[in-house]
Every structure is written in C-alpha cells, then in structure tokens.
Amino acid sequence: MENCDEAGLSTRFGGRVMKIVVLAASAQSKSVNKNLAAHIATQLAGRYGSEVVLPDFKQFTMLAYDGDFEAEVGVPEGAAQLAEALQGADALVLCAPEYNGGISGALKNAIDWVSRLQPHPFARLNILLTGASPGGLGAVRGLWHTRVPLEALGAHVYPDMFGLGRATGAFGADGSLQDPGIQRQLDGILEGFVAHVKRHRNG
C-alpha cells in the first residue's frame, strides 16, 4: 500500500480510504452499462484500494417527477435512498446509457427528484461520466448532454469522459475489456480522476 501510495495510485488520504459510488444508470437486468460499471468497480477497488459501492439502479424506483406528489407526500423513497448513497461519497462514477442522443429520462428523473432535497448531494460532487453503447459512437453524445444538469447542480464533472462503443462484445468472460488499447485509455482516465479527487478532497 505504501508503495502504491508513492506511485500515486492509492486512494488513501487523510487517514481514510476514498469512497466511490459506481452507478450504472440502467434498470435492465442485462446491460452493457452494468458490465462497464462492474469492470470499473473492480479496477477502482483492486488497483487503487478504493471503497467502492455498486448500487443497483433498479432499487431506486421512483415515479416521474410530479410536483403535486411532492407537495402531498414528499420525495419518493427511491430518491431518498439514492441521495443517501451519494451523501457520504468522495466521488461518483456514472455509467450512463444514451437514449435518443441524450441523457436517459430515467436518470434525469432521478437527478430531478434528488435535487429537491436540501442540501442535495450533487453540489461539489466529483463525477466521472462513462457510458457504453452497442453502436460505434460509445454514448458520447449522451455524455455531453448528461453534463449539463449535473453542472447546473454544481457538480464538478471531470472533463475527460469514457465512451465505450460496440460494447456488446467488448468484455471477456472475466468481465475485463478485451482490447488492450481501450483498457489503457480507461486506465488513464481512472488514474487521472482518482488523483484529481484525492487532491480536491485533500486540499
């Protein structure tokens, strides 16, 4: 651990270990974004020694935002649970599908509900955006569209993003990325992000 700290690879700082939520924003049981989230979680825990939380997006069930419901009942249970998962985190890695060239409505709806809590967990949260898609563009248009509401909420969205195209066949049986060039690209982004979060939380 000490060596790895010197190499800048550890996520230990201030006497504790960095806590990262890795969230695949997909309610489907089988999803390339879940594959990507699992792979990133493994990398962050193994290589950087982070404490990783890998929640299931489906557990955060909530109705479409409805101001009448909010006035009468409040924020739905799923939104409160998502907020709680994020509250203690040093960082969030989102694995977000692209729907129709943009953020998925389900994810935006979750963000909208969580943002109704005061304080909400997005302000000043360090977020890395990643996404996988079956097509060639790797959800990259969707990731740019996803930045907007998160930045509007005051999150520090890391400038580099990771879009994985042709994701259906991208993972091996052990869950790792088959293409070493793409793996190196992901390594570089994760290393930069972790160093950034460390500096930011430490400063």
List residues near a second copy by CB under 8 A: 26-29, 31, 58, 61-68, 99-113, 115, 136-137, 140-141, 144-145, 147-149, 151-157, 159-160, 165, 198-203
Would you say 41 or 189 has its CB closer to a second copy? 189
Would you say 51 or 160 has its CB closer to a second copy? 160
State the minimum distance, in angstroms, from the CB of residue 69 to a second copy.
8
- For 51-118, the DSSP string reads EEE--BGGGG--PSP-HHHHHHT-S-HHHHHHHHHHHT-SEEEEE--EETTEE-HHHHHHHHHHTTSS
State the minimum distance, in angstroms, from the CB of residue 201 to a second copy.
7
State the minimum distance, in angstroms, from the CB of residue 84 to a second copy.
19
Q: Distance between CA atoms of 2 and 12, rounded to whole angstroms?
A: 10
Would you say 40 or 157 has its CB closer to a second copy? 157
Would you say 1 or 152 has its CB closer to a second copy? 152
State the minimum distance, in angstroms, from the CB of residue 142 to a second copy.
9
Q: Can the peptide bond before residue 55 be classed as cis, meaning omega within 30 degrees of 0?
A: no
Answer for the pair 109, 27: CB distance below 8 angstroms, yes or no. no
